[in-house]
Amino acid sequence: MVRPVRWVLVLCLGAGALGPVEAQHHQGSEPPNAYRQDDSTRWDRAMLANDLQYKGLLGSLDFPLAVGVWPVEPYETPGNGSTLVECFVEGQRVVGRALHVGRGPHNEAAFGNSDLQDEVVAVILVATDTPDDEHRSIAISRNHPNYLAEGRFTTTTAGNIDWITMHLADRSAYAIVNMRFFDLHAGRLILVAPRPDGTLRFLQRELSMLSHTQVEAFVAGLSEAPELVSFFR
């Protein structure tokens, strides 16, 4: 089920393998939607003032990467976010984060004839043995049309499981989990199993296109998937 979480900050303030979409590499030329914010006459001063109100809170949260506040030009975002999900595999609790980005002009082509209003761009699931229900995360849109998120899970056997995801304007997407790199075009579902000796095991699988409103049922359905049962055993 999807659980309420206190530490979820989404800095949108505006509001799977995901099909045969290949990342486009732009060599020798500036990529589309190049993110340049060096012209102070174009900054959104109201947005900056609003973000500054959260600087103290952001500084107090122990994320893998410190979250800064910086000026940006005005932009419109379809929204992005992070959903806490969980399931039980043979009695073992597995918690996760499903990261999504809203449907908008920057990614419309990826949706085709689908009526989905957002897409889950990554799901990270971790077997945990702690009662911590926060598993804090933050998803930001300040790099629009590039979307970043990060967070932390806690375990007693392997300590913190820190993660970062990046979903970029050219449809390339990446994740880092405790310094283990993942190209999400190889699969947007990442499973993490801490071992008694403190090491980690990873499993990466494809993910069909789904919305954040569908992710609860998707994760619940994994609880009896033979491959996952074997992996988390």
Given a cut of 70, whether residue 188 has pLDDT beyond it is yes
Mean pLDDT for 98-111 is 95
Q: What is the pTM of this model?
A: 0.84
Q: Assess contact for 15 and 102: CB atoms under 8 A.
A: yes
Given a cut of 50, whether residue 211 has pLDDT beyond it is yes
Reading across the β-sheet that carries 92-102, which strands appear in turn? 80-89, 92-102, 118-127, 189-194, 200-205
| Distances in whole angstroms, Cα of residue 207 to Cα of each of 57, 89, 141, 186 | 34, 19, 23, 10
21-50 b/e (C-beta count within 10 Å ≥ 16 → b): eeeeeeeeeeeeeeeeeeeeeebeeebeee
User: Which are the contacts of 212, defined by CB distance < 8 A and separation ≥ 6?
Assistant: 81, 83, 98, 100, 118, 120
Q: Residue 17's pLDDT is what?
A: 31
Given a cut of 70, whether residue 163 has pLDDT beyond it is yes
Q: Which helix (H) or strand (E) holds 172?
A: none
Summarize pLDDT for 47-101 with one digit per residue, the tens. Answer: 999 999 999 998 888 899 999 999 999 999 999 999 999 999 999 999 999 999 9
The vertex-164 CA angle with 161 and 167, nearest 5°, equals 150
User: Which are the contacts of 16, defined by CB distance < 8 A and separation ≥ 6?
Assistant: 120, 123, 187, 188, 189, 206, 207, 208, 209, 210
206 or 233, which is more confident:
206
